[in-house]
Amino acid sequence: MVIAALLLLASDWTIDPARSKVVVHVYKKGAAKAFLHDHEMVPDHWGGKISFDPAHPETTSVDLTFQADSLHDQETALSENDRKKVDEETRKNVLEVEKYPTIELKADKLTREKTDALEGKLEGTLTLHGQTHPVSVPVSAAVEGSELHAHGKAPLKQTDFGIKPISKALGTIQVKDGVDVEFELVATPATGGGAR
């Protein structure tokens, strides 16, 4: 069982960004959507920690921080030049990274769906584009060797955080308000007495 295995391991974990992945899926819309592509925005600079108390799994916490200007489009159907244009548009007109340089997820409660597994919804807040709002993030985790692996996918609306979805050419080129944030995290036991 996951919980039984975690009892034998560290309660504080450091996420390994090099072996983890976070993708923001942005979807096309508008009259010209047949000629457009969706986007997969991936951060280059980010990190975080996970804390877990086997006696109180409901207090599981996750703390992630992303550098907003490190998000880059990884959509392979686009040319490198087009991806750079998307990156520039995202930094300047969507995320406004000079005003709001960081994105932060802070969750401090796990509502479990199964009593014998680390699975359910993480409850906390997301700070994005200078606004902080409650979020509920579906997550499933498992122990593999001495590592903690977690994955999930959560929907977000750009307008909930004061972001105006891109719309050009009188609305013929647009992206949907709703995006999906998909993640696969790999964490290792923190050293030196706790996660950093």
pLDDT digits over 138-170, tens only? 999 888 888 889 999 999 999 999 999 987 654
Q: How far apart are CA 129 and CA 22, in angstroms?
A: 18
pLDDT digits over 127-139, tens only? 999 999 999 999 9
pLDDT at 84 over 70: yes
Could you tell me the two tokens for 106?
Answer: 């802070």
pLDDT digits over 41-50, tens only? 999 999 999 9
Average pLDDT of the residues in 61-87: 94
Task: Quote the DSSP letter at residue 2.
Answer: H
Q: Output the average pLDDT for the chain.
A: 86
Torsion of CA 68, 28, 177, 139, to 10 degrees: -70
Average pLDDT of the residues in 101-121: 87
Task: Quote the DSSP letter at residue 4.
Answer: H
**Residue 26: Cβ within 10 Å count:** 23
Q: How far apart are CA 160 and CA 45, in angstroms?
A: 24
φ, ψ of residue 191 to 5 degrees: the values are -110, 165
Average pLDDT of the residues in 72-88: 92
pLDDT at 36 over 70: no
- 2-189 belongs to which homologous superfamily? Lipid/polyisoprenoid-binding, YceI-like (2.40.128.110)
pLDDT at 73 over 90: yes
Confidence of residue 194 (pLDDT cuts 50, 70, 90): very low
Could you tell me the two tokens for 161?
Answer: 């955080």
Q: How far apart are CA 76 and CA 83, in angstroms?
A: 9
Query: Residues 124, 107: contact at Cβ < 8 Å?
Result: yes
